[in-house]
Amino acid sequence: MDQTAGQFGASRLYPHLEPYDRRRVEAGSGHVLYVEQSGNPDGPPVVVLHGGPGGGCSPFMRRFFDPQHYRVVMFDQRGCGLSTPHASIEANTTAHLIADIELLRETLGIGAWTVFGGSWGATLALAYAQAHPGSVTGLVLRGVFLGRNEELDWFYGGGAARFWPERWRDFCAPIPPAERGDMIAAYHRRLFSGDRELERRVARHWTIWESGLAGLDIPYPGAASPEYARAFARLECHYFHNRCFLDEGQLLRDRHLIEHLPCQIVQGRYDMVCPPHSAWQLAQGWPGCRLHMIPASGHALSEPRIAAALVSIMDGLRASGAHGNACAHG
């Protein structure tokens, strides 16, 4: 059901906390994942899937969960953040990331867990749950992205440009007019050119375009550090150039595999990165799915109403005992 009431306004993020466990987990093909756990080691486990692809986790993401209740597992996906090798696309596909999540669940001795993800993290959450429904007790998603051509065309084919023509102009600036019919392919050629300075330069344009549209109304963003921008842009462009390594429409096609699971979706009404149509499509006909359409909000996890809704949902699950069968073993 579409939910538009302002019931989430009073929720507050939890205070900053440090992980009680940090480790590195070998995932194969030379990849080593940075993993951390925070909160209550004996509480219901939640795995947090960051966006991008290529974004990495941040301490801010720990603050959505009551640390007295939840066992919060976060990790940097292949090539991201503190995982190594940095910015690598070798053996880096959606199937690899799904296998990594399952490897972490087994390594940490968790029977099943709630999956919490936004944007690309929502894509990966759905793909993981459909591959391993027995490992999941429920889903909490934000800013739904289903990895379809229409969504990529919206953001990289001129749809969002109708609202932000001046920022689209800047995004197009490094690309000759003759190549602008496929901006993902044009950027891919440059981000994987082997010329590190060129890769850094075009990565700056790629990251500014995305970050500049993440909030409902935010100032023109500054550039991220050159190495972060390069890693983020390369990984994201790699996935999008390969259509997220998913069949077209796969996540909707296979939704029946997870329709027995509860799902809560937080979606900004004015999300320019991942427009609400995808969240609406995903929720329709899913008995256990509740769509919270958040007014006066865009895409970013940090937007006040978006953040408040997510905290409120996790607090509600705590109070109700929902997802409480996500017990550890071993």
Q: Strand locations in the chain, DSSP E?
A: 2-3, 21-28, 31-39, 45-49, 71-75, 113-118, 136-142, 263-268, 289-294
Q: For the chain, what is the mean pLDDT?
A: 93
pLDDT value at residue 79 = 95
Q: How much is the pTM?
A: 0.94
Marked catalytic residue, from 31, 38, 132, 271:
271
Indicate whether 21 pLDDT > 60.
Answer: yes
Q: Give the residue among 85, 67, 103 at the shortest CA–CA distance from 29.
A: 85
Identify the pLDDT of residue 320: 83
99-123: average pLDDT: 98
pLDDT in tens, 163-174: 999 999 999 999
Residue 22 has which token pair? 């940090």
> Is 205 labeled as catalytic in the residue annotation?
no
Q: Where are the domains of the chain?
A: 2-147+246-320, 149-244
Alpha carbon separation from 262 to 36, 122, 281, 291, 303 (Å, rounded): 26, 14, 16, 11, 24
What pLDDT score does 246 carry? 98
User: Is residue 327 pLDDT above 80, yes or no?
Assistant: no
pLDDT at position 330: 34
pLDDT at 130: 98
Joined together, the tokens standing for residue 241 give 């150039």
Alpha-helical regions (H) of 8-81: none
Is 42 annotated in the active site?
no
Class for the domain spanning 2-147+246-320: alpha beta
Res. 2: pLDDT tops 70: no
Task: Please confirm, yes or no, whether 271 is among the known catalytic residues.
Answer: yes
Contact by Cβ (8 Å): 183, 210: no
Q: Which of 69, 132, 299, 323 is catalytic?
A: 299
Q: Which one of the listed residues 11, 38, 119, 297 is annotated catalytic?
A: 119
Residue type, 305: R
Share of the chain above pLDDT 70, in %: 92
pLDDT at 9 over 70: no
